């Protein structure tokens, strides 16, 4: 198999996932409360065996899962992705005790995970974070704030990044596994456009010990970047799934809609827009698959490829969904319409896990780094 051609078994699995999402996950998503964790949906993702795959799949398989689920049920896709984002540092860098305690519960959908990196004054510049880990007799005390944290304040545990060495930039950050019931940890829900919960966390001398460290002290930035390099292509896959859903809806609408004595698709201006939507969607899909395959093969240019995949796919999805809304007209803006839903969902991926501008900076940095290494 290459990055550009899926095997028949993979294609069949993607079709099965789309069917499961439509038949079993979408009804549960519809019963969820906006801004709250949908624990019934998480439990079903666990029962279907999808959450356990977060810890056994490579990057390409993760992308196929996210793309397929997003095509039929964005809520299910996001629930799965956030479990993976919050728990991957435990899976990849945690101790045996940490993994044994939390990962089976994450896989079953009974424990909610969250990735707590962003702060009020340190979003795109993650190395500038200021949540402080002050040394104490039994470890550290965490003091400060996190914000825009998905699954907060309802998560059962957080992967938290804190500064253990002042003035050391990325080299002075440590990752901690912090259960939600630790004294001094409080959270507030934020009223956001996204249907899943996003909140702020306040740390008032929250106690952590050496048993809570993920990886090594002062090496937490590596934990964060390892996680983001894996998940950035799959954010692109999420975007591709939404773009494909918008494209499919547009094909059906323009083929049926009467306009000017024929069908909407017969207008060259419409047909060319649909062709452009398909071209961009397929281009983004191929770049996502290529980046994921590079990650799985341990290629040296993963940061650049991951950034390119997220950038192209999320910007493409924004374009495709916007074009789809335009071609559908006013009906696409009605509450409950697929495109009204996608129009709200498609905006955030261009910001989280590194905004589009940050991805461009990463790409340029990697290009010039390669030039200097020659």
Q: Are β-strands 157-163 and 173-179 bridged in parallel, bridged antiparallel, or unpaired?
A: antiparallel
Helix axes 74-93, 96-108, angle to 10 degrees: 170
Count of beta carbons in the 10 Å neighbourhood of residue 360: 14
d(CA 153, CA 186): 8
Per the CB < 8 A criterion, the answer to whether 174 and 219 are in contact is yes
- According to DSSP, residue 122 is labeled B
Give yes or no: 353 in active site. yes
Tokens of 287: 């770049």
How many other CB atoms are found less than 10 A from the CB of residue 36? Answer: 12
Q: Which of 77, 353, 357, 372 is catalytic?
A: 353
DSSP 190: -
Closest among 351, 370, 248 to 305, alpha carbons compared: 370
* 345, 246 contact by CB (below 8 A): no
Q: How many whole angstroms separate alpha carbon 214 and alpha carbon 172?
A: 14
C-alpha span between 16 and 237 (Å, rounded): 17
- Residue 73 neighbours by CB distance under 10 Å: 27
**Enzyme catalytic residues:** 353
């Amino acid at each position: 198999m290459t990055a550009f051609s899926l095997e028949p078994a993979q294609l069949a699995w993607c079709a099965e996932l789309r069917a499961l999402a439509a038949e079993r996950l979408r009804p549960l998503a519809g019963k969820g409360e906006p801004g709250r964790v949908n624990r019934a949906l998480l439990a079903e993702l666990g029962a279907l065996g999808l959450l356990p795959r977060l810890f056994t799949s490579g990057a390409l398989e993760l992308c196929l899962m996210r793309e397929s689920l997003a095509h039929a049920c964005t809520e299910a896709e996001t629930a799965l992705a956030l479990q993976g984002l919050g728990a991957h540092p435990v899976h990849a860098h945690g101790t045996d005790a940490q993994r044994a305690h939390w990962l089976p519960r994450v896989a079953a959908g009974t424990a909610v995970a969250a990735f707590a990196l962003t702060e009020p004054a340190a979003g795109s510049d993650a190395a500038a974070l200021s949540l402080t880990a002050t040394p104490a007799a039994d470890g550290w005390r965490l003091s400060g704030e996190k914000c825009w944290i998905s699954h907060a304040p309802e998560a059962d545990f957080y992967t938290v990044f804190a500064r253990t060495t002042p003035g050391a930039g990325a080299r002075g950050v440590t990752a901690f596994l912090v259960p939600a019931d630790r004294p001094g940890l409080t959270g507030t829900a934020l009223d956001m456009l996204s249907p899943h919960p996003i909140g702020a966390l306040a740390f008032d001398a929250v106690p952590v010990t050496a048993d809570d460290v993920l990886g090594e002290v002062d090496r937490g930035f590596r934990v964060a970047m390892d996680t983001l390099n894996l998940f950035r292509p799959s954010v692109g896959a999420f975007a591709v799934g939404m773009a494909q859903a918008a494209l499919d809806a547009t094909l059906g609408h323009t083929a049926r809609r009467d306009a000017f004595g024929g069908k909407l698709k017969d207008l060259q201006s419409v047909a060319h827009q649909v062709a452009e939507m398909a071209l961009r969607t397929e281009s983004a899909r191929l770049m996502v698959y290529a980046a994921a395959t590079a990650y799985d093969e341990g290629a040296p240019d993963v940061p650049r490829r991951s950034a390119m995949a997220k950038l192209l796919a999320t910007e493409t999805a924004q374009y495709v969904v916007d074009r789809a809304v335009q071609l559908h007209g006013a009906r696409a803006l009605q509450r409950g319409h697929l495109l009204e839903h996608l129009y709200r969902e498609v905006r955030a991926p261009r910001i989280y896990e590194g905004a589009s501008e940050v991805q461009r900076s990463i790409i340029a940095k990697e290009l010039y780094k390669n030039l200097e290494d020659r």
